[in-house]
Amino acid sequence: MSILFKPTVINGMQLKNRFVRSATHEAMADLDGTVKDQLLQYMLDLVRGEVGLIITGHAHVLREGQAGPRQMGAYSDAMIDGLKRVCSVIHENGGVVAIQLAHAGIRGIGKKEYAALGPSNLSKEGLKVATAMTAEDIQRTVKAFGDAAERSVAAGFDAIQIHSAHGYLLSQFLSPYYNKRADVYGGILENRARFLLEVYTEIRGRVGRSFPLMVKINSEDFLEGGFTAEEMVKVACMLEEQGMDAIEMSGGTFESGRLVPSRMGTFKSEKKEVYYRKAAEAFKREVKIPLILVGGFLSFNLAEEMVTSGQADYVALSRPLIREPHLVKRWADGDKAKATCISCNKCFSTLLMEEALHCPIDKESK
Ligand SMILES: Cc1cc2nc3c(=O)[nH]c(=O)nc-3n(C[C@H](O)[C@H](O)[C@H](O)COP(=O)(O)O)c2cc1C
């Protein structure tokens, strides 16, 4: 049997294979963030597709941290019932589910109602687009992550992933490109990582040592003056030392041009797949906790090679599962043909049009 289909454990969480559904914003909640039935149907499809670990789309921990319309929320107790339904549909079908907790920072959408907050003041053509967080804002947000974590446990999630990648709030703080602060949250790496570590410590204090906690971080920002691969290894070591259970590695931000987190055209050649391979090597040289690697996987043989060679412990997929929610099952059943996703990013346009997540290419071909 392929190593990819052998069971593993992350801090007590039993996983039947090495495939992870990387967090993917579904836009299947009500306007206030309450889960809708449509999301349950979507999750049912994924769990029937036998993905070892499903990570939800990012759920905002404060209203001001909302990144997109119809995003799932974890910012109030009123969300717990809907979140419970997500867990139930996955558990009843033999799956395992983590919630991704997030704050959009300067990417917050509710700018008219709530000021967008980030590490530093930001303006565009004279317009103020974000305000630097005060120390009180930071502490309020740390607490909000903790509250959302408690709600997640109450709802029945098997694990929590902290979103600290892709140029959202915690990633903005890690990055000198966005973070120009002169206080204890800016400047040297230890300061830029402080917010993330405080969030980790707060959540760990609420959920206990035996609850699986993960984080998603950038391998690098691919921005001049941004967060680097060398810094990523150092931050990973800090998180490991504090007791983080696993790290998912991604990369890029909205400002990174062609090197955005969801790169286009990776289906054209195997060489373009697995685009954080080098950073994964650097990670593996220093860090012992499991590495969940995301970014451009389409071919079964490459996924297998990465895990067999020890360059990654888990393979995370986002776009391939939008087009083919049953991809992992197809591979497990013996059809090892490459994923049919053509990494065209048209799935994003469905979100921009405020439709629920789907693959328009797949829809056209049916
Ligand atoms: C439509 C869409 C929504 C996404 N939403 C999230 C999200 O909520 N949280 C997150 O960490 N990454 C999100 N991502 C990024 C993916 O998790 C992943 O890191 C990236 O697409 C690269 O993986 P892939 O090549 O398998 O698609 C999203 C990607 C897509 C295409």
**CA of 250, closest atom in ligand 1:** 19
Span 189-236, pLDDT tens digits: 999 999 999 999 999 999 999 999 999 999 999 999 999 999 999 999
The CATH number for 356's domain is 3.20.20.70
Ligand 1 atom 9: residue of nearest CA: 23
Cα within 13 Å of Cα(45), Cβ side:
14
Nearest to 171 by CA among 218, 126, 125, 130: 218
Mention every residue, 6+ apart, whose C-beta is less than 8 A from residue 70: 27, 28, 29, 30, 31, 354, 356
pLDDT of residue 350: 85
CA distances from 264 to 43, 248, 287, 301 (A): 25, 20, 29, 20
Range of the domain at 358: 3-365
Whether 163 is in the pocket of ligand 1, judged by its Cβ within 6 Å, is yes
pLDDT of residue 128: 73
- Return the best residue to mutate from 19, 25, 275 for the ligand 1 pocket (most ligand atoms within 8 A of CB): 25
- Give the count of domains, the chain: 1
Q: 63: pLDDT confidence band, cut at 50, 70 and 90?
A: very high
Q: 363: pLDDT confidence band, cut at 50, 70 and 90?
A: low
Q: What is the pTM of this model?
A: 0.97
Return the structure tokens found at 334: 């013996």
Pairing of strands 19-21, 122-124: unpaired
Ligand 1 atom 13: residue of nearest CA: 24
How far apart CA 349 and CA 151 sit, in angstroms, is 31
Ligand 1 atom 6: residue of nearest CA: 24
Q: 290: pLDDT confidence band, cut at 50, 70 and 90?
A: very high
Residue pair 9/15 in contact by the 8 Å Cβ criterion: yes
Question: Is the pLDDT reported for residue 366 higher than 70?
Answer: no
Output the CA 328–ligand 1 centroid distance in Å.
17
Q: Which residue has the tokens 């991604």?
A: 250
**H/E/C letters for each residue in 263-322?**
CCCHHHCHHHCCCCHHHHHHHHHHCCCCEEECCCCCCHHHHHHHHHCCCCCEEEECHHHH
Question: Is the pLDDT reported for residue 122 higher than 90?
Answer: no
**CA of 350, closest atom in ligand 1:** 1
Span 74-112, pLDDT tens digits: 999 999 999 999 999 999 999 999 999 999 999 998 776
Mention every residue, 6+ apart, whose C-beta is less than 8 A from residue 194: 173, 184, 185
Span 11-34, pLDDT tens digits: 999 999 999 999 999 999 999 999
